[in-house]
Structure 1
């Protein structure tokens, strides 16, 4: 492995033993406060989702095509957009602090049948079993190893000088924006490795079973957000339109489209935020990438070292960390992916102190700094000759 030259093999192994000690101490101390934390987050998430959907329903009463003779545009927009934002935040919580971490088996120790990694299906068009393979197994094993970690550019972006430049990378800024807006759809395709299918390295028949499962999950999500909830909104208007003699079909259709639009905005909020947090944890300046030969014969201690060098943190307050799924502590997450996420803030100072003692970089910065650095790097790597630290 290409590790920092100032460390001997013995020092790296001692570094690994100290990392193990931090992990074991936290894992041994799991208990009721952790249980209450995740149960509380789930209650908040479900309350926010329900509140957001109720607010969008109530917006129909004061909408220009709604149930009152005089429309109130301000109240309508406040309820509709406020509901969409609240639902978007609920989707962020479900995907990042709950779903992602549950699927990492962080909460399996509770033996709660409703919060188990092998049964949780998250609010996302990507099936959870495919996410666990592409993310937990592949990405966390081969973090930032070119050719083995599909998260290095996701098959469409150039994010490292170890990736040979091709003309297609001139579209880096455009593709980066598309990935941000359609993030959950990119996640759904991730485990299919469509780039290899298009390059002829895999056959379409090889991915057909996975593609069918993606189709099942896409239908489940679209049905919920763009059919069932909008239909419920239409039904909500029905009694009043019948009593007052209002045009039933036109108001029902307007209600359907209004709630569907609100759900679309909520999904967009989740997509943009998830993309920004995840990219800021993997692509800012100073992040290291590796070649397959660098990790041949890699020990656990060297794996710890690679996770430290290949991950980046984002500084912020408690609410920010929760809304990021504690992936603002990306370094700690990559070092200890099965440790409950609420423990990362208390582990971070210890990990940083250990890195400092061994003369190793600990890549952290404000959200503005990490996002700006990530964006500039992605734009810069669209051009030939761009270089950065491995």
Structure 2
């Protein structure tokens, strides 16, 4: 097993074949290809800022497109790659499929069009309306008192604020707001920690894996829910034939309304977030969470008391959880969910992702995640530019017969339930008759 180095033998770059590289795809032995150069990431992956798994998911593969997609400052990242260099990919293996070269040409065109340049006025206005909503929620109780009507109004205002802060932290986490990674990380910690009481490290760990391999079983944590739900067409049949199952999955489209949207943020994410913070000793993230709750109780305890403040917080999380689950899952759950097929970047993302038709409300309501296809192809692109690149993406998909799917908002949400029902029926059939 190689450990990196200068990648040369007698002053000549080593040549490595694709067949040889593909063998190095185990936890203790990992090579990747980036721009036709081969790197040993076996040790480096444990220090990778995006987490070990996100880079390890490409062990033995060509990681050029995800590398390009996730890193705005390529020159800075190449400094870390240099000591990991093993050699060059053999010339015969450097031939690109047309779909790959066309997509890379599209990215270059997007860069030339300035579509990766953020509009700070847009993001500043977005942050401003988040802070205004939080302030209005507090002033509402201060002025009108703590009756049921003012309480419900404040809960709604804070729910909107929390959802919109969630979309903004998502932008910052993808390094799409500022030109430097450092500035994005600093403000990301403030928004996700100081305004939402969550850990940036925890978010990075989960979310980057999802982007690297969306809807890939055992690689995307968003589809790893077998204790409660079975998703897609393949996993339910596999579990059913093996007589496996922890729940009556043929009813999952109904108990989803009880165990999905109501509980994800108030229960699951709180527990998972805290476990990771203490396990990885992310004391900076914990400090931001403490700052959030200190501010929350200082503002609301004089009005509602300690337990009243806690109840308001949990009710807001309960409401936000519904918003979050429907928006984030309608783009992925109804799409193809399968084991690793080692597809190119464009078809990989498109098979797992669909859009929701654009409109002023849909764009605001989803934080522009209705342009989920464009976001997955270009995760560091500022979201206010998705509508500009969308026609070019559609054209490229049409050329290569890749399905580009866009739905209206209601259909996209209903399809989540339809998909859960179909998957549950597949499990039931395989379990009882397979």
Counterpart in the other structure of 1:161:
233
Counterpart in the other structure of 1:288:
336
User: For residues 162 and 214 of structure 2, what CA distance do their matches in structure 1 show?
Assistant: 26
Counterpart in the other structure of 1:279:
329
**Structure 1 regions of 5+ residues with no counterpart?**
2-7, 64-75, 195-205, 235-252
Counterpart in the other structure of 1:378:
420
Counterpart in the other structure of 2:349:
307
User: For residues 343 and 28 of structure 1, what CA distance do their matches in structure 2 show?
Assistant: 6
Report if the CA contact (8 A) 2:277-2:286 is conserved: no
Counterpart in the other structure of 2:54:
none
Counterpart in the other structure of 2:262:
181
Residue number among 133, 149, 157 corresponding to 1:48 in the alignment = 133
User: For residues 260 and 130 of structure 1, what CA distance do their matches in structure 2 show?
Assistant: 23
Distance 1:335 1:47, change over 3 A: same
User: For residues 232 and 184 of structure 2, what CA distance do their matches in structure 1 show?
Assistant: 40
User: For residues 207 and 114 of structure 1, what CA distance do their matches in structure 2 show?
Assistant: 20
Matched, 1:92 2:173: no
Residue number among 159, 170, 174 corresponding to 2:248 in the alignment = 170
Counterpart in the other structure of 1:243:
none
Q: How is 1:237-386 mapped onto 2 (pairs within 5 angstroms)?
A: 253=305, 260-284=310-334, 287-292=335-340, 294-295=341-342, 302-385=344-427
Report if the CA contact (8 A) 2:159-2:319 is conserved: yes
Higher share of residues assigned strand: 2
What secondary structure is seen at the aligned counterpart in 2 of 1:181?
A: coil
TM-score by length of 1: 0.72
Counterpart in the other structure of 1:13:
100
User: For residues 354 and 229 of structure 1, what CA distance do their matches in structure 2 show?
Assistant: 52
Matched residue count = 322
Q: Quote how far apart the aligned CAs of 1:261 are.
A: 4.2
Report if the CA contact (8 A) 1:230-1:260 is conserved: no
User: For residues 401 and 354 of structure 2, what CA distance do their matches in structure 1 show?
Assistant: 17
Counterpart in the other structure of 2:215:
144
User: For residues 188 and 307 of structure 2, what CA distance do their matches in structure 1 show?
Assistant: 36
User: For residues 175 and 16 of structure 1, what CA distance do their matches in structure 2 show?
Assistant: 37
What secondary structure is seen at the aligned counterpart in 2 of 1:289?
A: coil
Matched, 1:58 2:58: no
What secondary structure is seen at the aligned counterpart in 1 of 2:234?
A: coil
TM-score by length of 2: 0.65
Q: Quote how far apart the aligned CAs of 1:120 are.
A: 3.9
Counterpart in the other structure of 1:106:
176
Distance 1:49 1:158, change over 3 A: same
User: For residues 178 and 22 of structure 1, what CA distance do their matches in structure 2 show?
Assistant: 44
Residue number among 203, 210, 230 corresponding to 2:300 in the alignment = 230
What is the CA deviation profile of residues 327-347 of structure 1, one whole-angstrom value per residue up to 9, with x for unaligned ones?
111111111111111111222
| Larger RCO (CA within 8 A; separation ≥ 6) | 1
User: For residues 154 and 211 of structure 1, what CA distance do their matches in structure 2 show?
Assistant: 26
What is the CA deviation profile of residues 67-101 of structure 1, one whole-angstrom value per residue up to 9, with x for unaligned ones?
xxxxxxxxx444322222111111111011x1111
Counterpart in the other structure of 1:131:
203
For the aligned residue pairs, the C-alpha RMSD in angstroms reads 3.3
Q: Quote how far apart the aligned CAs of 1:308 are.
A: 1.6
Counterpart in the other structure of 2:8:
none
Report if the CA contact (8 A) 1:108-1:117 is conserved: no
- After the TM superposition, which segments of 4 or more aligned residues of structure 1 sit over 3 Å from their partners? 25-29, 110-121, 123-126, 153-156, 187-192, 210-225, 256-265, 383-387
Q: Quote how far apart the aligned CAs of 1:224 are.
A: 4.8
Counterpart in the other structure of 2:153:
82
What is the CA deviation profile of residues 259-312 of structure 1, one whole-angstrom value per residue up to 9, with x for unaligned ones?
55444333222211011000101112xx223322x11xx5xxx11221122111
Q: Quote how far apart the aligned CAs of 1:356 are.
A: 2.0
User: For residues 380 and 44 of structure 1, what CA distance do their matches in structure 2 show?
Assistant: 40
